[in-house]
Amino acid sequence: MAQAVVSHLEDAHEQIDRAISTALKESKPVYISISCNLPGIPHPTFIRDPIPFSLVDR
């Protein structure tokens, strides 16, 4: 089981992507926790088009 605790917008995308990648690679659940004060904060990356998600073997 993996988890991501997002408390800052600066690394939110990285933490969420890592958790989703782990879930897909390991076929196991992950838990993503987002601080309650973050959803209302504007961030410039939210206005861009989403980046297609792909798994890369490392």
Rounded to whole angstroms, how far apart are CA atoms 52 and 31? 22
CA triplet 39, 25, 29: central angle to 5 degrees? 55
Q: Is residue 32 part of a domain?
A: yes
- In the chain, which residue ranges form alpha helices assigned H by DSSP? 12-26
Q: Is residue 53 part of a domain?
A: no
Q: Count of domains in the chain?
A: 1
> What pTM, to 2 d.p., does this model score?
0.66
> Which amino acid appears at position 13 of this protein?
H
Residue with tokens 């980046």: 51
Answer whether residue 42 shows pLDDT above 70: yes
Count of beta carbons in the 10 Å neighbourhood of residue 38: 13
**Mean pLDDT throughout 14-35?**
90
Q: In this predicted structure, what is the pLDDT of residue 17? A: 86
Look up the domain containing 21 and give its range. Answer: 2-47
**Mean pLDDT throughout 18-30?**
90
Q: Is residue 52 part of a domain?
A: no
Q: Is residue 41 part of a domain?
A: yes
Rounded to whole angstroms, how far apart are CA atoms 6 and 15? 7
